[in-house]
């Protein structure tokens, strides 16, 4: 059995790294000796997070929807820290509403942040890593990338796209020395999950659980990263069932209301407002 890879001295980029899963992942990587660069739209919070982490942690402003600026950000990281060994495409938003109530600006924002930015980041990583014959791309999707949840149709569509992108690129990079991992967590208790009730079968997880899974996938490369691991088995079983039976199981477990019930929750007001202002390159176009 191959020895787990060391992350000491590795240059690792985390988009959306100022808070939530990104910040906790950056902290875990820093503790293992990695040289971490945080990119985030909230530069003030990113600098605060980097300062708390210490070491060589770098914080730079990043609007992932501005592809020219995204490329320049990666160039800047390499100029300061060296060639990028790992890119973690973590930035994402999850506005909730029935599809017929979702305005087009929200749709565009989700597509640009959750899909286009991940495609661009992945492409840029390939261009930098493949010539060196080494590297690792981590795309953060969701269990919503394997199923549909009422109240978050566009979000589910974006995460299905991330899963499909990752699967295709994983095959394209076979034998090149560049690994791809796709992270599919259940509900993670960050600001993004504000107002969401606990699921009956699959319990929510903490950002530390996701960070630990990402670190493990970097040390022992694998494509599928389910958090918790039981999501994989549940998904396999559900897909074997006839559609009507599978939908009945989902309703019985409250899956049909998991996100829909929080769509108009006052507990999500602050998050929804922040998500609405998270893509200036899109909103200013």
pLDDT of residue 112: 97
Domain residues of the chain, as ranges?
Answer: 11-283
Q: What is the pLDDT of residue 166?
A: 98
Question: Where does the chain show beta strands of DSSP type E?
Answer: 11-15, 35-40, 58-61, 86-89, 135-140, 178-185, 224-227
Q: What is the pLDDT of residues 234-258, one digit of tens each?
A: 777 777 778 787 776 666 666 666 7
Q: What's domain 11-283's architecture?
A: 3-Layer(aba) Sandwich (3.40)
Per-residue confidence (pLDDT) for residue 193, from 0 to 100: 74
pLDDT of residue 24: 97
Of the listed 10, 48, 127, 159, which one is catalytic?
A: 159
Marked catalytic residue, from 10, 155, 203, 220: 155
Is 159 one of the catalytic residues?
yes
What is the pLDDT, as a whole number, of residue 284? 63
The predicted pLDDT at position 281 comes to 75
Looking only at the bridges linking them, the beta strands covering 35-40 and 58-61 are: parallel
Contact between residue 268 and residue 194 where contact means Cβ atoms under 8 Å apart: yes
Would you state the pLDDT for residue 1? 62
Phi-psi region of 196 (alpha: psi -120 to 50; beta: other; left: phi over 0): beta
pLDDT < 50: residue spans in the chain:
none
């Amino acid at each position: 059995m191959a020895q787990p890879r060391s992350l000491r001295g590795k240059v690792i980029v985390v988009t959306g790294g100022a808070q939530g899963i990104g910040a906790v992942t950056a902290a875990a990587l820093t503790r293992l000796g990695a040289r971490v660069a945080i990119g985030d739209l909230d530069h003030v919070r990113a600098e605060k997070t980097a300062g708390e982490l210490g070491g060589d942690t770098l914080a730079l402003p990043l609007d992932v929807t501005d592809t020219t600026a995204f490329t320049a950000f990666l160039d800047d990281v390499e100029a300061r820290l060296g060639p990028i060994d790992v890119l973690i495409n973590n930035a994402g938003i999850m506005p909730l509403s029935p599809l017929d109530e979702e305005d087009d600006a929200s749709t565009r924002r989700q597509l640009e942040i959750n899909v286009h930015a991940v495609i661009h980041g992945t492409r840029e990583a390939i261009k930098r890593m493949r010539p060196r014959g080494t590297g690792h791309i981590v795309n953060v999707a969701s269990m919503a990338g394997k199923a549909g949840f009422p109240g978050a149709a566009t979000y589910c569509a974006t995460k299905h796209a991330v899963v499909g992108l990752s699967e295709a690129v994983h095959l394209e990079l076979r034998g090149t020395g560049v690994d791809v991992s796709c992270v599919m967590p259940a509900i993670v208790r960050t600001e993004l999950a504000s107002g969401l009730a606990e699921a009956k079968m699959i319990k929510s997880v903490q950002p530390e659980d996701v960070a630990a899974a990402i670190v493990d996938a970097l040390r022992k490369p694998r494509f599928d990263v389910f958090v918790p691991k039981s999501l994989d088995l549940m998904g396999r079983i559900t897909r074997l069932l006839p559609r009507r039976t599978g939908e009945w199981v989902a309703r019985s477990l409250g899956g049909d209301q998991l996100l829909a019930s929080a769509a108009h929750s006052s507990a999500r007001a602050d998050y929804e407002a922040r998500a609405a202002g998270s893509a200036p390159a899109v909103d200013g176009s």
